[in-house]
Structure 1
Amino acid sequence: GHAFSALTASDAARRAGGRLILRIEDIDAGRCKPEFEAGICEDLAWLGVSWDASVRRQSEHVADYQRALGVLIERGLVYRCFKTRAEILDEIARAPHLSPKGPDGPAYVGAPLAAYEERSLLASGAPFAWRLSAAAAREALGPLYERLCFMVEGENGERAVEAKPEIFGDVILGRKDSGTSYHLASTHDDALQGVTHVIRGEDLAAAAHLHALLYALFGRPAPVYRHHRLITDERGRRLAKRDHAATLRALRDAGVTAAEVRARLGFSD
């Protein structure tokens, strides 16, 4: 699956005369290790994929994302949420009709605590996450919110898609362990690195709705999105390591050539 995504992006960059950017999204320290990055680079090089010399490692730029979060805090667009995941799931289960239908099920919509409650919890050292207030974001953008959209590239060219970020509810933008989130770090870096086209799997298509909102809140242009098909097994299930799908290293060790992998995925030399 990762090979197909990398080859798709590489092919698109080559056809457009552009640059392919490699970014190591390693803000989750518990799941990321240096050897994983080395493996990614080794796999890409073996496939014949070349990328821009400058590789951005998100773990080295956490302060950048915290500054971006600080801007949202100052504007009153995010709030501290002290509820645990279990508490939120229980709250949604008790009143599912009050939660928007998100890409992964009902989404959470909350509200800031009263100042005295928040002070008490902070003094006790209670953990919290920063959540984007969907209502505050909508109010901040005013009429622009109703016109919010993003461009999607498909087989028949580009088309505008109406953005519906409300499906995410009050999404987490700052986690207690990393100080940021995938959504905030990804959109920040796309803008910083001048990314014009984002190519990723169709399983992440819904994220474009939220990302369009974040770009608008920061006054940044949104890239064009292209969502490719997912690679599945003979039963139609997405290939994943947890299901013992073969890794590129395993294929190499088994004598499979890079040309054979590219051909299987529909890319000719």
Structure 2
Amino acid sequence: MAATTVTRFAPSPTGRLHLGHAHSALLGWQAAREAGGRFLLRIEDIDPVRCRPEYTDAILHDLAWLGLDWNAPPRIQSRHLPEYGAVLKRLSGMGLLYPCFCTRADIAREVAAIGHAPHGPDGLLYPGTCHRLSAEARAARIAAGEPYALRLDMAAALARLAAPLSFEEQGRGRLRCDPARFGDVVLARKDTPASYHLCVTHDDALQGVTLVTRAEDLLPATDLHRLLQVLLGWPEPRYRHHPLLLGADGKRLSKRHNAPTLAALRQDGHSPAAVWTMAMGHG
């Protein structure tokens, strides 16, 4: 018997939904409904600075107005911080995390001293400053109350793999992974209890997501997510990374570029059916 298709839409409540969000949500919803499966809604609100409750309410309203439904109550990530803490504890127990006391300025100075600035999918690669600290130095700085992030020891993590990593991308077959290009990525920040990479991978496993539908700008992150899945014994979903929806100017629709929000389109008199047409690229 084939596994039930389970998809999800996982916005962050940092602003109002726009057509790009609607495109992603509709693709996931349609994939689940056409397969007789389940569609889930997750609110990824672990960033206490940028996320706001009123945007969560607006997301629920906009999706309902579009006619989307979901098969379980929305998962609100900020209500599950102890679960992410438990995952970090597991990784720490495996010897795969280390504290990083560096600020952005510290990292910039270190990179300047090196003379070159290697970049990965998430930006500037960490030069390994705190990885070189002794256990005694780390303990002393923690005991002194110095704030720190938690980084994945990428070399140690890769050493645990028994085989090369890959994932199934719908329409493209199996693609090889290269998580090393992320370097020693942060999995818990000083001001945020867990990173996007850790939380999204944990929740996809917990919620039984079998098909991850998301924009193609997140395709590189799949390499890191597969690494976490293998390290933690979580199941491997299939993936479908869809093209970004572009505006008339050829730029991606985003909050940063003031993409038209669903609320604004609604106020301008557009019907849900009209917005569906625009979001799916036919308008």
TM-score (norm 2): 0.87
Match of 2:142 in 1: 122
Mapping of residues 215-226 of structure 1, within 5 Å? 215-226=229-240
1:5-49 Cα deviation digits (max 9, x unpaired): 101111111122111110111111112222111111111111111
Rounded to whole Å, the distance in 2 between the matches of 1:266 and 1:98 is 39
Rounded to whole Å, the distance in 2 between the matches of 1:236 and 1:173 is 34
Q: Which runs of 5+ in 2 are unaligned?
A: 1-19
Q: Is the 8 A contact 1:183 1:211 kept in 2?
A: yes
Decide which of 63, 70, 73 is 1:51's aligned counterpart. Answer: 70
**Bigger Cα displacement from structure 2, 101-110 vs 60-69:** 101-110
Rounded to whole Å, the distance in 1 between the matches of 2:24 and 2:206 is 22
State the identity as a percent. 49
Q: By how many angstroms is 1:76 displaced?
A: 0.5
Mapping of residues 104-253 of structure 1, within 5 Å? 104-110=122-128, 111-141=131-161, 143-144=162-163, 147-154=164-171, 159-253=173-267
* 2:137 maps to amino acid: E
2:33 is equivalent to residue 19 of structure 1: no
Residue 150 of structure 2 aligns to a residue whose secondary structure is: strand
Q: 1:184 to 1:96 in 2, by over 3 A?
A: farther
Q: By how many angstroms is 1:53 displaced?
A: 2.5
Q: Is the 8 A contact 1:81 1:112 kept in 2?
A: no
Rounded to whole Å, the distance in 2 between the matches of 1:188 and 1:254 is 39
Q: Which runs of 5+ in 1 are unaligned?
A: none
Rounded to whole Å, the distance in 2 between the matches of 1:210 and 1:74 is 19
Q: By how many angstroms is 1:104 displaced?
A: 4.1
Q: By how many angstroms is 1:243 displaced?
A: 2.4
Decide which of 96, 106, 111 is 1:77's aligned counterpart. Answer: 96
* 2:121 maps to amino acid: P
Q: 1:249 to 1:184 in 2, by over 3 A?
A: same
Match of 1:103 in 2: 121
1:122-141 Cα deviation digits (max 9, x unpaired): 23221110000001101122
Q: 1:98 to 1:234 in 2, by over 3 A?
A: closer
Rounded to whole Å, the distance in 1 between the matches of 2:240 and 2:112 is 34
Count of residue correspondences:
261
Match of 2:6 in 1: none
Rounded to whole Å, the distance in 2 between the matches of 1:181 and 1:105 is 15
